[in-house]
Amino acid sequence: MDNMIYPRTHVRRRNLACRQFATLLATLAGGVLLASGSARAYEQVVIRDWRAPMTYELEVEPHLVLGTAPPGPGYGTGVGIGVRGSLVILPDGFIPRVNDSVAIGFGLDIGHYTASWALDGYRDQCTHFEPGPAGTSVCTDVTSGGGTYNYFFVPVVMQWNFWLTRHFSAFGEPGIDIYYLGSHGFNFSPAAYVGGRVKLTERMTLTGRIGYPTVAIGVSFMM
Amino acid sequence: MNGKHRLILGAAALLAAAGCHGGPGSCPAGGVCDCHDGTDCYQGCADGDGCSLSCHNMVHCGGVCGNGCNLQCHDVTDCSADCGDACNIDCHNTVSCGAFCGTNCQYDCHDVERCGVRAGTNSVIYCNNVTTCAVECLGTCQVSINNTQAYDLGCPGGAAPISCTNGFIACGSC
């Protein structure tokens, strides 16, 4: 009997988790909306509509990035530039009767990190080793002030959008960030972002996201 | 204040807070800097000379310093030291301990698998209770070898080391 009940319970739990996540995002977005002063009495809520207020297949978003405590051996706080492309794969999203949509996002972010700007401390690192007697290895040069690090991030995320009003949308982005750090080569780290868009024109939004490993602010072009 | 102003102000505050933060990484001249725990730590004497750098209880660590420095390393897998003249290097309870130092260097390596040092004129080297001890002297030097399975002393120009009455072996004179 339990085995017959389990699948339904599982689906119910999954739907509940989806709704809880959606509620969380909606609450967050609502908070940002109120705080930004963009909430106006006549703003039309569209979260219960079927379709997004702007139809697009690809979102291209150049942006500025800021990050701290980068993954891997680097340290510090960094600034940089990047671009994100998000291809809509589910225009109607996951949840019936909720105005959501899903896209796959790919990007490239370049960040220059300075260890002495670290919020979480840093250590100097060896930048040059030479072979010593008895098969030893001797470090002959170290970074100064923790050094600087140039990161290349390639985020790959699932972007889950919630079209809340005609002018405001929020999204969550779980995924991974593949990164390249000079002589340390390639590696990857988990990535998670939440963000929002404020509509500027019919095909353009001001877009911001916070998360790890970077935060970003940019302009999205809906194509 | 509108949203755009708040955003700019927030970003400026974040950058200002980040810029004011210092760190323990670079050791000032005459400073005593200790690094322990974690995996890697390589310290440098930011002003060049006179630092005391120590590291312990980690995987890889080392120090780079100018003249008149004290470098200590213990309970680490791989230790490294690069120092100028008149340095004291103390390395123990590690797997490897490699060092380069200038004139008047004292290198003390004990309870280590592999001790290796390239030292300048008038240096004194101690290897005690180690598996392998390799010393390259760039001038006159004295070496004390105790309870060591294998050792190698290289003298300038391929000259043969000499045994001293005090139990040391030496390049040049005792």
Per-residue confidence (pLDDT) for residue A121, from 0 to 100: 82
A27 sits in which H/E element: helix A2-36
Per-residue confidence (pLDDT) for residue B171, from 0 to 100: 96
pLDDT digit string, tens, across residues B37-59: 889 999 999 878 999 999 999 99
In angstroms, how far is CA B32 from the centroid of its own chain? 14
> What percent of chain B has a predicted confidence (pLDDT) above 70?
86
**Cβ–Cβ contact A121 with B under 8 A:** yes
| Residues of chain B found within 8 Å of residue A117, distances taken between Cβ atoms | 18-19, 21
Residue B2 has its nearest CB partner, among A37, A66, A123, at: A37
Taking Cα atoms as reference points, which of B58, B68, B125 lies closest to residue B98? B125
Residue A54 lies in a domain: yes
Residue B74 lies in a domain: yes
Per-residue confidence (pLDDT) for residue A12, from 0 to 100: 39
How far is A217 from A27, CA to CA, in rounded Å? Answer: 21
Residues of A numbered 26-85 whose beta carbons fall under 8 angstroms of chain B's beta carbons: which are they? 35-38, 66, 68, 77
Of residues B26 and A106, the one with the higher pLDDT is A106
Q: Assess contact for A117 and A67: CB atoms under 8 A.
A: no
Of residues A120 and B142, the one with the higher pLDDT is B142
Looking at chain B, which residue has its C-alpha nearest residue A64?
B11
- Return per-residue pLDDT of chain A as tens, 223 residues: 333 333 333 333 444 444 444 444 444 444 444 444 444 545 667 666 666 666 899 999 999 999 999 999 888 999 999 999 999 999 989 988 888 999 999 999 999 999 988 888 888 889 899 999 999 999 999 998 888 999 999 999 999 999 999 899 999 999 999 999 988 899 999 999 999 999 999 999 999 999 999 999 999 999 9
Peptide bond before residue A62 is cis, with ω within 30 degrees of 0: no
| Residues of chain B found within 8 Å of residue A130, distances taken between Cβ atoms | 100
Q: Could you tell me the two tokens for A172?
A: 């969550």
pLDDT at B15 over 50: no
Query: Cα distance from A172 to chain B (closest Cα, Å)?
Result: 20
Q: Do A68 and B3 touch (CB under 8 A)?
A: no
Residue B117 has its nearest CB partner, among A117, A118, A133, at: A133
Confidence of residue B22 (pLDDT cuts 50, 70, 90): very low
Residue A19 lies in a domain: no
**Cβ–Cβ contact B113 with A under 8 A:** no
**Cβ–Cβ contact B26 with A under 8 A:** yes
Residue B23 has its nearest CB partner, among A138, A139, A146, at: A146
Looking at chain A, which residue has its C-alpha nearest residue B3?
A36
The contacts of residue B140 (CB under 8 Å, 6+ apart) are B121, B122, B170, B171, B172, B173
Residues of B numbered 123-162 whose beta carbons fall under 8 angstroms of chain A's beta carbons: which are they? 132-136, 152, 154
User: How many folded domains does chain A comprise?
Assistant: 1
User: How many folded domains does chain B comprise?
Assistant: 1
Domain ranges, residue B105 = 24-171
Residue B15 lies in a domain: no
Q: Assess contact for B41 and B58: CB atoms under 8 A.
A: yes
pLDDT at B101 over 80: yes
Per-residue confidence (pLDDT) for residue A142, from 0 to 100: 92
Q: Assess contact for B112 and B106: CB atoms under 8 A.
A: no
CATH number at residue A138: 2.40.160.20
Backbone angles phi and psi of B92, in degrees to 5: -150, 160
Residue B16 lies in a domain: no
* pTM for the whole structure: 0.69
Residue A31 lies in a domain: no
Residue B68 lies in a domain: yes
Q: Do B35 and A123 touch (CB under 8 A)?
A: yes
Q: Which of B47, B55, B80, B112 to probe the A interface (max A CBs under 10 A)?
A: B80
Of residues B61 and A34, the one with the higher pLDDT is B61
Per-residue confidence (pLDDT) for residue A48, from 0 to 100: 63
Q: Assess contact for B7 and A106: CB atoms under 8 A.
A: no
Domain ranges, residue A202 = 41-222
**Total beta-carbon pairs less than 8 A apart between chain A and chain B:** 128
Residue B25 has its nearest CB partner, among A123, A137, A141, at: A123
